[in-house]
Structure 1
Amino acid sequence: MAKPVTDEPVQEVVMSQVPAEILELIKFADTTLSEGTGVEQLVLFKEIDAKGTVQTVDSKTAVNLYKRMMSPKTPDTFPLFEIKNTDKTILVLGGKGYEGPIWAKVLIDKNTREILKIEFGHQFESEGYGAAITNSSFEKQFLGAKIGLEANTFGLQQGGREVIKGNQPIDGISGATVTGNKVVELLNEGLLRLKEYTE
């Protein structure tokens, strides 16, 4: 039996040619990329601006946006990485912490608007203080939350008082008030952009 002819040539992936950032994101989404599968067959690359407008971009543009999330001057546009044939989307956010850049990778279920996985990173936050945003005990507080489309998804409790109002309270990090505030603000601002995208 003859194979069907397609208009689009399928480009096989050479693993050494796939940017490390894309491999990292695919692993973060609990997905695998194998030899013979093109990255574009697995991931749809998009960006979302400050108004919540989403548009498709090429992989190079998305990777460059992803890298900029970790730089001192983060753009107003964030990258989105949709895992094809699933409901999973990765939103990457970046902002300024107490000492320097902070960022978050957020794996969401686009249909249920639930946060499935989250990972924070930083460049210069102090050990024992702001660097604690990468501790699993802090990150786990965000899991399972349903993204709020009209109000802050997350609130922040610090020293027994409410610092930021939100649907799901998060316990701040002792001695890292500024970094904790910045993380929650970054997430709330980024997640509110998803209103049109997830409706």
Structure 2
Amino acid sequence: MDRNKNSYIFIYSIILVVVVAGALSLVAVLLQPKQAKNYEIEQKRNILSALKINVETKEVESNYAKIVTEIAVDEFGNEVEKEDALILYKAQTDKGLKYVFPLSGKGLWGPIWGYISLDEDLNTVYGAYFDHKSETSGLGAEIATEHFQSQFSGKKIFNSENQFVAVKTNKRGAQNENEVDAISGATITSTSVSEMLESCLNKYLPYIEKSRK
């Protein structure tokens, strides 16, 4: 075949594209188990962060296995063994029994997520962890900082009349034990955190009310 002909160049280009695409697909398949493992470790690290336990990557799985138990509950708050059930976590820490609830919501520019841990009374917040995909640096992105997250410790998700209210952000500053300071200049992201906490914890309310002490 004349290598200077357009047909040769065309066929060669097709073969090259197929080979490269196949190689990339193979690499993606080979990397999937590692990526899944990394995601699992990151998730466990975030749960530990909500429990105020910060360890190196190599120590995440051993620390998690020692204290955390995964629980599945149905919409009535009963513990079940179902794939489509709600998941939460019990952790027996050196500070006592804690419950950890996963959170997910929508910020100003994209997804936000996190975990919140409650004391054994299932009312008092022990710790919180939040993160985001694309909130504004220095503003909404502050939800991922220790300064913002530490405000939640000691707050209550039930008010003085025993009504579920979650924990709200307030741009005027925390006015009671159910509020924290909102982030200055990031009203929408701050409100999104409030909405995420309320909507996500509300799903677990039947379990929380059944188990409260």
TM-score (norm 2): 0.59
Deviations 1:76-115 (A, max 9, x none): x753111258511211111111111111211221336321
Which residue of the partner structure matches residue 79 of structure 1?
Answer: 87
Which residue of the partner structure matches residue 196 of structure 1?
Answer: 210
The one-letter code matched in structure 2 to 1:133 is I
Aligned counterpart in structure 1 of residue 179 of structure 2, from 153, 157, 169: 169
Unmatched runs of 5 consecutive residues or more in structure 2: 1-36
Aligned counterpart in structure 2 of residue 115 of structure 1, from 125, 132, 156: 125
Are 2:191 and 1:181 equivalent residues in the alignment? yes
What are the equivalent positions in structure 2 for 1:13-92 lying under 5 Å apart? 19-21=40-42, 23-25=44-46, 27-28=48-49, 29=51, 30=53, 39=65, 42-48=67-73, 51=75, 53-57=77-81, 78-84=86-92, 86-92=96-102
Indicate the percent of aligned positions where both proteins have the same amino acid.
24
| C-alpha distance in 2 between matches for 1:26 and 1:198 | 21
Deviations 1:119-142 (A, max 9, x none): 110011110211011122211221
Offset of 1:22 from its aligned partner? 5.8
Judged with a 3 Å threshold, the aligned counterparts in structure 2 of structure 1 residues 26 and 133 are, in CA distance, closer, same or farther, namely closer
In the alignment, is the contact (CA less than 8 A) between 1:43 and 1:84 conserved in 2? yes
The one-letter code matched in structure 2 to 1:154 is V
In the alignment, is the contact (CA less than 8 A) between 1:52 and 1:195 conserved in 2? no
The one-letter code matched in structure 1 to 2:209 is K
**Matched residue count:** 161
More helix by share: 2
User: How big is the alpha-carbon RMSD for the aligned residues of Structure 1 and Structure 2?
Assistant: 3.6
Greater than 6 Å deviation, 4+ residue runs: 31-35
User: Secondary structure of the equivalent of 1:53?
Assistant: coil
Deviations 1:127-171 (A, max 9, x none): 02110111222112211112216231323322x389xx9752222
In the alignment, is the contact (CA less than 8 A) between 2:173 and 2:180 conserved in 1? no
Which residue of the partner structure matches residue 137 of structure 1?
Answer: 147
| C-alpha distance in 1 between matches for 2:194 and 2:87 | 19
| C-alpha distance in 2 between matches for 1:146 and 1:55 | 24
| C-alpha distance in 1 between matches for 2:60 and 2:146 | 26
Which residue of the partner structure matches residue 168 of structure 2?
Answer: 155
| C-alpha distance in 1 between matches for 2:60 and 2:168 | 36
| C-alpha distance in 1 between matches for 2:182 and 2:130 | 14
TM-score (norm 1): 0.63
User: Secondary structure of the equivalent of 2:103?
Assistant: strand
The one-letter code matched in structure 1 to 2:137 is E
